[in-house]
Amino acid sequence: MTLRGAQPGQRRALLLVNRRARRGAQWAQQAYQQLASEGFTLIVPHDDDARSYSELILAHQHEVDMVIVGGGDGTLNAAAQGLMQCHLPLGILPLGTANDFARTLAIPFNLDAAINIIVAGHTRRIDLGEVNGHLFLNVSSVGFSASLARNLTAAAKKSGVRRVMHSPHCACCAKVDRSVPCCIMMANRKR
């Protein structure tokens, strides 16, 4: 597969790896080396670049043929706006904690296998959701699960779901008793 603007055998990608994701720091260098050995010319922003993933995608969109994001669901959601605006293909390296979006697309959690999917050029169209101006790739929550996700610390995520569900924070979330009016648009119709 030859991507937009690339010469045959040459593929240019923006590689964004969230080093704070569960396996991000551990696998970032290996991902870079494997992709480069497969013929990718990679642009990797410097660690001290303070721009958001979407800003980085938009800044480099004319230099690359695709964007490869390593991290979890939050990392992918952080890149969603930039990806939507520039229409570049997305390669996913599931390096986060839950990796629900990668699981939904049957992308293996094994780094070598995920890279093989990218190298083979397997693509499919996906839908994006939007809530209050924020794009999401996989799931959006309201109520208890939204409160839990918003207040979940990195340490709690790494300790495992079972311990999180029995944590004092979880008890605090259960006390929240506010109704939130909302309007759901599906296929341009209100529900």
pLDDT in tens, 70-82: 998 889 999 999 9
Q: Looking at this protein, which amino acid is placed at residue 92?
A: I
**CA dist., res. 77 & res. 186, Å (int):** 20
pLDDT, residue 9, reads 57
Condensed to tens digits (0 to 9), the pLDDT of residues 124-182 reads: 888 888 888 888 887 666 666 666 666 666 565 555 544 444 444 444 444 444 555 65
pLDDT, residue 164, reads 43
- What is the overall mean pLDDT for the chain? 78
Question: Cβ neighbours of residue 119 under 8 Å, at least 6 residues apart?
Answer: 35, 38
Quote the tokens at residue 132. Answer: 């209050």
Q: Using an 8 Å Cβ cutoff, are 108 and 22 in contact?
A: no
Quote the tokens at residue 39. Answer: 């013929």
Q: Which of 4, 21, 29, 9 lies closest to 119, judged by CA?
A: 9
Q: Using an 8 Å Cβ cutoff, are 89 and 67 in contact?
A: yes
pTM to 2 decimals?
0.73
Confidence of residue 183 (pLDDT cuts 50, 70, 90): low
